[in-house]
Copies of this chain bind each other. A is one copy, B any other.
Amino acid sequence: MITIKEIARRAGLSIGTVDRVIHGRGRVSKETENKIKSIIRTTGYKTNIHARNLSLQTTHHFGVIIPFPEQDGSYWDIMRKGIDQAEGELVSFNVHRHYFYFNKYTEASFLSAGKEALSQRMGGLIIAPVLFDASLAFVKSIPPGVPYVYVDSTIPGTAPLAVIGQDSFQSGVCGAKLMRMLVQGSGDIAVLRMLRNNFHINERVRGFSSFFNDTPSIKLHVFDVDGGADDRTFAGNIRSIDSITGNCIGFFVTNAETHRVAKVLNGKGHAKWIVGYDCTWENKRLIEEGAIDFILSQNTREQGYAGVTTLFRHLVLKEPCAAEVHMPIDIVTAENLSYYQ
């Protein structure tokens, strides 16, 4: 591996000049600059990461702006696990994560979390842009030079370092395939839209429905359900949906609140087929008990992990990284449950 010293020797210059060229710090003649750059190109010089970090002696602070861990049925707690794991593996590089939580139901909460992250001068940001307008506004206030990656969702028209997420439409299709295997022949299926105006959830519904487009023997009923309601209200809503349709034998639940639906419908014995989302603790427990049949995992933990490593590769290793990371659509059921978290 060629070093700066060797480049300097070949160019008949000092390492200081080479360093200035590499970092574009100026105070170098055009001619010298070109000479050094050509040597760098032809020799394929790569900066020694250890020497750099030893010399720089910097700590890297990553800001993580996500909803409170317990929201969405503790969905965000899973992501935190992945983030913490990544931080643990990168201690040697002085990488530290700082959480700035927000309430996913109020824009002000998001904005203040973002503001706080910026005021604490994070070197990079991991953002869950679940609130579209607030995210758009906030992202514009991020100083240039501070890279940010999106997890879970994305905001078109912005310039993140990377987008990490899952194809929600296709996951809906996948859910439909599983439901089709459970509900063979003909029957009615309820699709529970757990949030209005949520891109992910709408895409899941769209993907699910598309699968049954040419299947007249299956009838879909789409219902809006307030996933944030208290247990009593929620149970009442689910029960009334069940009684309205009467003969729905399958329920597709479009977010991590699947367990709450399962508890109402399959609380005493298995009565309905249930396909839902996300490997939260509660959902895993209910799969084990047989109350949920399939869970589609967003690989939430891996999303968090990938968010940190992406920032790490960019900020610490200064290496290029993929602009889009598509998480696989994991199918989780009782028989392979224990290997997912």
Does B54 lie within 8 Å of A335, measured CB to CB?
no
A131 interface hit (Cβ, 8 Å): no
Interface segment among A4-12, A45-53, A122-130, A263-271: the answer is A45-53
Given contacts A177-B333, A177-B334, contact A317 B49 (CB under 8 A): no
The minimal Cβ–Cβ distance linking A67 to chain B, given in whole angstroms, is 25
- Would you call A92 an interface residue if the criterion is a C-beta within 8 Å of the partner chain's C-beta atoms? yes
- Distance of A335 Cα from B204 Cα, bound (Å): 13
**Contact-residue bracket for chain A:** 35 or more
Contacts of A119 in B (CB 8 A): none
Among A2-59, those with CB < 8 Å from B are 46, 48-51, 53-54
Binds B, one of A97-105, A221-229, A245-253, A324-332: A324-332
Which of B1, B184, B328 is in CB contact (< 8 Å) with A330? Answer: B328
Kindly state whether residue A181 has any CB partner on chain B within 8 Å: yes
- Looking at the assembled complex, report how far the CB atom of A241 sits from the nearest CB atom of chain B, in whole angstroms: 25
Known contacts A54-B54, A317-B92, A331 near B339 by CB under 8 Å: no
Q: Is A174 in the interface zone, CB < 8 Å from B?
A: yes
Q: Does residue A336 face the partner (Cβ distance < 8 Å to B)?
A: yes
Q: Which of B211, B329, B336 contacts A339 (CB 8 A)?
A: B329
Q: Is the CB of A339 within 8 A of B328?
A: yes
Q: Which residues of B contact A184 (CB under 8 A)?
A: 184
Q: Is A173 an interface residue (CB 8 A)?
A: yes
Task: Give Cα A181–Cα B184 distance, bound, in whole angstroms.
Answer: 9
